[in-house]
Chains A and B, each alone.
Chain A
Amino acid sequence: MTSQRVHFYQVGSFAVGNRLLNEEERTIQAQADRTNSIDSGHRACQGCGEALGARYALDAAMRATNGQVVAVNATGCLEVFSTPYPETSWRIPWLHSLFGNAPAVATGVAAALRAKGKKDVRVVAQAGDGGTVDIGFGCLSGMFERNDDVLFICYDNEGYMNTGVQRSGATPPAARTATTEAVGPEPGNVFGQGKDVPRIAMAHDIPYVATATVADLHDLERKVERAMEFHGARYLHVLVPCPLGWGSPSSETIHIARLAQESGLFPVFEAEYGVVTSVSHIRRPVPVEEYLSRQRRFNHLFGANPRPDIVAHLQAMADENIARYGLIAPEMEHSS
């Protein structure tokens, strides 16, 4: 399967993607017979990127497997807001065990299904960035290394939002969190080496690794469907803005996710067996300021005491991504 041919860009106008597409090209989410894996009524915040991403991802997985999905969930926002018992939003079999063990629990589910000969039932494990890049990382790497038949989805909102916006290994440099306050000479999160889990996943040579954002839900659905065509360990890393933690209006979630991609700070690509096979090119390049200045967590870089030095450092990171993945399409480079 090659990448999606239809180039339709949501631009923040009133244009709604599906309305402009042929029926067969519309999202799974637009279909009346979608599973509705995560039902309405859950307790996610308004504008929650994770709720949106999970709904699209799981319904796509359900479509791809003819309704045969078991979901495993790490502790975190998604777990807490979806199961305020006696209510549950899950219309698919769903198991939550602990914060750091979702990949291993999913391995166990897959092993049991194999032992029982239930070949058609597939396993999707999900966690936030904390449950993926930090506390769940050992189990995740083990799951990758053994090539266990699990699609692991990380909904990355770049911090521990459920516990009150603390720093995680996925928090970007300079971002303010409750444990990296915007004070002192180097306000916000440190500039470290970062923990780029999609690239670490690729280093395991697993069948499929992809990144996506909630700004391009067609792309997210397509990647989930693609992932379900493989057996073995697969990893999908979805950027999901968090209005609460990022300090952005609820109505801006999609826009900010798009700016993360178009600034080059969040590269969107897919890889098979450790090799990048496609890249979502930046359609309208923007400087990182456009992305950063819309979020309160980066307020200290602008305003009365601006820090152009830090912004430049972040721009350099974006430029590095652009160069590494070739995020600017060749034809665009000519025209610019």
Chain B
Amino acid sequence: MLRQIEGSKAIAETVALCRPEVVCAYPISPQTHIIEAVGAMVKEGTLAPCEFINVESEFAAMSVAIGASATGARAYTATASQGLLFMMEAVYNAAGLGLPIVMTLANRAIGAPINIWNDHSDAMAVRDSGWIQLFAESNQEASDLHVQAFRLAEELSVPVMVCVDGFILTHAVEGVDLLDQSFVDAFLPPYEPRQMLDTEAPVSIGAMVGPEAFEEVRYLAHLRQLDALERIPAIASEFFEATGRESGGLVRPYRTDDADTVIVAMGSVLGTLKDAVDARRDLGERVGVLGVTSFRPFPSEAVRDALASARQVVVIEKAFSIGAGGVLSNDIAIAIHHEQTLLRTVVAGLGGRAITRRSLEKVLEEASRDELATLTFLDLDRDAVDRERARMQATRRSGPSAENLLRDRATVAPKVRA
């Protein structure tokens, strides 16, 4: 049913259709509206049987999900940013134990400086944890992906993280076609665990594994992710057959067939990118977009195929590895592995800075003239950076950089200014 609805609410209602048996959460912006809505449904009894646990930290949230999943319950939680980092040890543990937990990550920057707005630093921080990471482009996809995520997680006994851009998607109200219960029940069979705590058939779960088998256990986890490379498109196409909607899958090419330059990105920025590409196409430039939906497992083959004829690849990233460069770019470079292709990284949208169509068109323009540097930062205020660098060199005790920059920008109240 098509409804004008907030992204978080659409996600919550879809999660409820998946009949989770244990939902646990600790509030953090911008994830709050999701768990508030699920909590209300449990409280009023429309989502039952389901236990909603208000925990005391994200570390506890993931731990409760681990206990519930190991007991054979379908478990769900949601977090963002600092919360993901606070639960990181348990995030790795859930994957290591092979527990099919589904978690929404309302993507948000990581401090310091503390910042509640969107970027992808949080998701990148756990890319090696063994979780499947799917990035939603729109609220329709964000909502649909949750049904696919439970199905995928439970088929493979691997946890799945649905990455949804914080605020940009979670707090945006737009039209979302919500699934109905009968469809979800048919699409997502009841959870049949591969392993569980059962008094009738006791097993020990979580034993120490030494050098004699650790590598094999890790390799098996890798194989399960490779299996996911098969299952993700299969599930997406089954979903498409039933709904007519292209949600999920590994990658999503847009006007790439004859493209000289292809822009690669993940998440909500893809919409703006497509508009920018359309505008440049109108000017006769051969540009296209490749959206990466599945970041883990990384679909190297699909990426290679989609970029095969591109002369130049520009990766727009909402995160970067400080001191190195692009994170997604690295995976792209390994996937295409031919030196003739020009690979450019544009770091953009950090801490919620708006990625405008105008800025993107400027990137495309520079790209068309082969003027893009290997690594650039979109809309960077170079003067502000230079001023702070100068201060740091002139005075030993130049003070905290973040606050200095804010003072320069005059966004601090005048009274506070020195």
* A 245-267 contacts with B by CB, 8 A: none
B10-24 contact mask (Cβ, 8 Å, vs A): 1 or 0: 000000000001101
**B142 part of interface (Cβ distance < 8 Å):** no
How many angstroms from the CA of A115 to the CA of B63 in the assembled complex? 17
* B 202-248 contacts with A by CB, 8 A: 202-209
Tell me if B63 and A105 are in contact (CB < 8 A): yes
**A80 part of interface (Cβ distance < 8 Å):** yes
- Chain B residues with Cβ below 8 Å from A113 are 71
How many angstroms from the CA of A113 to the CA of B73 in the assembled complex? 8
Assign chain A's interface to a size class. Answer: 35 or more
**A83 part of interface (Cβ distance < 8 Å):** yes
Tell me if A93 and B59 are in contact (CB < 8 A): no
How near does chain A come to B61, taking the closest CB pair, in angstroms? Answer: 8
A90-108 contact mask (Cβ, 8 Å, vs B): 1 or 0: 1111111110110011111
Tell me if B63 and A138 are in contact (CB < 8 A): no
Tell me if A101 and B208 are in contact (CB < 8 A): no
**B37 part of interface (Cβ distance < 8 Å):** no
**A328 part of interface (Cβ distance < 8 Å):** no
Partner of B56, one of A80, A94, A109, A141: A141
How near does chain B come to A194, taking the closest CB pair, in angstroms? Answer: 23
Partner of A94, one of B73, B90, B202: B202
How many angstroms from the CA of A107 to the CA of B206 in the assembled complex? 17
- Chain B residues with Cβ below 8 Å from A114 are 51
Tell me if A97 and B55 are in contact (CB < 8 A): no
B53-80 contact mask (Cβ, 8 Å, vs A): 1 or 0: 1111101110111111111110100000
Tell me if A85 and B209 are in contact (CB < 8 A): yes
- Chain A residues with Cβ below 8 Å from B59 are 100-101, 104, 138-139
**B333 part of interface (Cβ distance < 8 Å):** no
User: Do A112 and B72 contact each other (CB < 8 Å), given the known contacts A85-B208, A104-B59, A105-B64?
Assistant: yes
Tell me if A70 and B22 are in contact (CB < 8 A): no
**B49 part of interface (Cβ distance < 8 Å):** yes
Tell me if B66 and A70 are in contact (CB < 8 A): no
Chain B CB within 10 Å, residue with most, of A90, A110, A112: A112
- Chain A residues with Cβ below 8 Å from B64 are 104-105, 107-108, 111
Closest chain A residue to B209 by CB distance?
A: A85
How many angstroms from the CA of A327 to the CA of B374 in the assembled complex? 75
Closest chain B residue to A84 by CB distance?
A: B208
How many angstroms from the CA of A145 to the CA of B54 in the assembled complex? 11
* A 119-146 contacts with B by CB, 8 A: 121, 138-139, 141-142, 145-146
**B335 part of interface (Cβ distance < 8 Å):** no
Partner of B68, one of A67, A69, A88, A109: A109
**A79 part of interface (Cβ distance < 8 Å):** yes
**B50 part of interface (Cβ distance < 8 Å):** yes
Chain A CB within 10 Å, residue with most, of B53, B63, B72, B73: B63
**A72 part of interface (Cβ distance < 8 Å):** yes
How many angstroms from the CA of A307 to the CA of B379 in the assembled complex? 69
**B198 part of interface (Cβ distance < 8 Å):** yes
User: Do A108 and B65 contact each other (CB < 8 Å), given the known contacts A90-B204, A116-B21?
Assistant: yes
- Chain B residues with Cβ below 8 Å from A112 are 21-22, 51, 67-69, 71-73, 75
Tell me if A98 and B90 are in contact (CB < 8 A): yes
Tell me if B63 and A101 are in contact (CB < 8 A): yes
How many angstroms from the CA of A114 to the CA of B53 in the assembled complex? 12
Partner of A96, one of B56, B65, B207: B207
- Chain A residues with Cβ below 8 Å from B93 are 97-98
Tell me if A111 and B199 are in contact (CB < 8 A): no
Tell me if A95 and B207 are in contact (CB < 8 A): no
- Chain A residues with Cβ below 8 Å from B69 are 108, 112
How near does chain A come to B66, taking the closest CB pair, in angstroms? Answer: 5
How near does chain B come to A78, taking the closest CB pair, in angstroms? Answer: 12
Partner of B203, one of A69, A93, A98: A93
Tell me if A111 and B73 are in contact (CB < 8 A): yes
Tell me if A111 and B51 are in contact (CB < 8 A): yes
How many angstroms from the CA of A73 to the CA of B208 in the assembled complex? 12
Tell me if B57 and A98 are in contact (CB < 8 A): no
Tell me if B208 and A79 are in contact (CB < 8 A): yes
Closest chain A residue to B89 by CB distance?
A: A98
**A68 part of interface (Cβ distance < 8 Å):** yes
**B85 part of interface (Cβ distance < 8 Å):** no
**B197 part of interface (Cβ distance < 8 Å):** yes
Closest chain B residue to A122 by CB distance?
A: B199
**A117 part of interface (Cβ distance < 8 Å):** yes
How many angstroms from the CA of A79 to the CA of B71 in the assembled complex? 19
How many angstroms from the CA of A110 to the CA of B66 in the assembled complex? 12
**B97 part of interface (Cβ distance < 8 Å):** yes
B357-385 contact mask (Cβ, 8 Å, vs A): 1 or 0: 00000000000000000000000000000
User: Do A146 and B53 contact each other (CB < 8 Å), given the known contacts A80-B208, A109-B68?
Assistant: yes
Partner of A108, one of B50, B57, B66, B206: B66
Tell me if B67 and A72 are in contact (CB < 8 A): yes
How near does chain B come to A294, taking the closest CB pair, in angstroms? Answer: 33
How many angstroms from the CA of A318 to the CA of B94 in the assembled complex? 44
Tell me if B199 and A121 are in contact (CB < 8 A): yes
Partner of A105, one of B50, B66, B73: B66
Tell me if B209 and A70 are in contact (CB < 8 A): no
Tell me if B205 and A101 are in contact (CB < 8 A): no
Closest chain B residue to A120 by CB distance?
A: B199
How many angstroms from the CA of A117 to the CA of B51 in the assembled complex? 11
Tell me if B21 and A115 are in contact (CB < 8 A): yes
Report B's interface with A, CB cutoff 8 A.
21-22, 24, 49-51, 53-57, 59-61, 63-73, 75, 89-90, 93, 97, 197-199, 202-209
User: Can you identify 16 A-B contacts, CB atoms within 8 angstroms?
Assistant: A72-B67, A79-B206, A85-B209, A90-B202, A94-B202, A95-B204, A95-B206, A98-B93, A105-B63, A107-B55, A109-B197, A111-B22, A112-B22, A112-B71, A115-B21, A142-B60
Report A's interface with B, CB cutoff 8 A.
67-70, 72-73, 79-80, 83-85, 88, 90-98, 100-101, 104-117, 121, 138-139, 141-142, 145-146
**10 closest Cβ pairs, A-B complex:** A108-B67, A96-B206, A142-B56, A104-B63, A112-B73, A112-B71, A101-B63, A108-B64, A105-B67, A83-B207
Beyond A94-B197, A94-B203, 16 extra complex contacts between A and B, CB < 8 Å = A84-B208, A93-B197, A94-B205, A94-B206, A98-B90, A107-B55, A108-B69, A109-B67, A109-B71, A111-B64, A112-B69, A112-B71, A113-B71, A138-B60, A139-B60, A142-B55
